[in-house]
Amino acid sequence: MFYRENGQFKTSYAADQQIFTIAQDKWFVWGLIAFAALAVPMLADEYMFRAILIPFLVLSLAALGVNLLVGYCGQITLGAGAFMAIGAYAAYNFMVRIDGMPLVLAMLLGGVSAAAFGILFGIPSLRVRGLYLAVATLAAQFLCDWAFLRIGWFTNNSSSGSVSVAKLEMLGWAIDSPTEKYLFCLAFVVVFAFIGKNLTRAAIGRQWMAIRDMDVAAEVIGIRPMFAKLSAFAVSSFFVGVAGALWGFVHLGSWEPAAFSVDRSFQLLFMVIIGGMGSIMGSFFGAAFIVILPIFLNQFLPLLGSLVGVTVSTAGISHAELIIFGSLIIFFLIVEPHGLARLWSIAKQKLRLWPFPH
């Protein structure tokens, strides 16, 4: 009734090729961004920022990067944790070794380093695909785990093996309160989400999707598989690398290689699968599902227990949390194998016709 494109006529192709072709969508997303930037800092407390919002934002950015590769270009990867690590350690080294290195530039350079490694580890994708490629990218993961643990140069010869960033500052703005850290991450995520969207709706995104859907036909119309696949690896790793730098600098502050273990790679891949492959929005849904749901269950289960008069032990809660989380994943994958993003678009489709069934 209120979500309908009636009366919104497109008179030029430029208007027809906007990101949000329906005006309500545009207002919704801009409203959401405004809410996140203006209202959330006033509403949320420190716990919310530290435990939920900042991890959610950073992991959404990483999931978005993984989605560009897995969802749009169809190249499966289990090396996302490694590229996050490369982003974080490279940014750290740029900060430590070059005097007066601006924070944002160091992070972007971290992303560029991750992109270079992404291209390197993307080379196997030219010959192998599917599960075999997943195993090949897993090599990146183990190589990085080893290198950042054993090679002292990367950690600036830190004796404990962990590295830390002294203080975050951008153009004289000290980013130290949780609210400021949150806003810093939010800015990154919004800009990168729009860049991701632009790439996927432009020529390069079509090349990626063509390679994903039918690689022989893509070659025949002149798409070079090498360029398409390696550019997807590069862009994806760049996103993931920047997310890794944010994770290390802003969220953790000090970290060791275990922060970017193979678990992280799996977590990011699950986010993409649950959120929706080939959807920018889906990356956010997936990150929200995986970051927020366990915390929500953790808070909600004792409440539910007390409601029915049962006191649940702490161990019981953490077990129940895993059980419910696992079954929800199975449930969603059975109900909608294309992820939460598909549910979202079905809901929008229904809403366009509502209150009529057809």
Which residues of this protein are in contact with another protein, per CB under 8 A? 12-14, 16-17, 195, 198-199, 201-204, 206-207, 209-210, 212-214, 216-224, 231, 235, 278
- CA-based end-to-end distance of the chain: 13
**Is 223 within 8 Å of 211 (Cβ atoms)?**
yes
- For residue 86, the one-letter residue type is I
DSSP code for 12: S
Q: How far is the CB of 235 from another protein (least distance, A)?
A: 7
In the complex with another protein, the residue whose CB is nearer, 84 or 228, is: 228
Q: How far is the CB of 358 from another protein (least distance, A)?
A: 17
In the complex with another protein, the residue whose CB is nearer, 238 or 249, is: 238
Q: What is the DSSP string of 232-244?
A: HHHHHHHHHHHHH
Q: How far is the CB of 12 from another protein (least distance, A)?
A: 8
Q: How far is the CB of 2 from another protein (least distance, A)?
A: 22
In the complex with another protein, the residue whose CB is nearer, 34 or 202, is: 202
In the complex with another protein, the residue whose CB is nearer, 30 or 173, is: 30
- For residue 242, the one-letter residue type is V
> In angstroms, rounded to a whole number, what is the distance separating the alpha carbons of residues 26 and 46?
30
Dihedral sign, CA of 222, 228, 231, 236? positive
SS3 130: coil
Q: How far is the CB of 222 from another protein (least distance, A)?
A: 3
In the complex with another protein, the residue whose CB is nearer, 103 or 204, is: 204
**Is 301 within 8 Å of 312 (Cβ atoms)?**
yes
Compute φ and ψ for 261, nearest 5 degrees: -80, -175
In the complex with another protein, the residue whose CB is nearer, 102 or 225, is: 225
Beta bridge pairs of residue 174: 169
Q: How far is the CB of 70 from another protein (least distance, A)?
A: 13
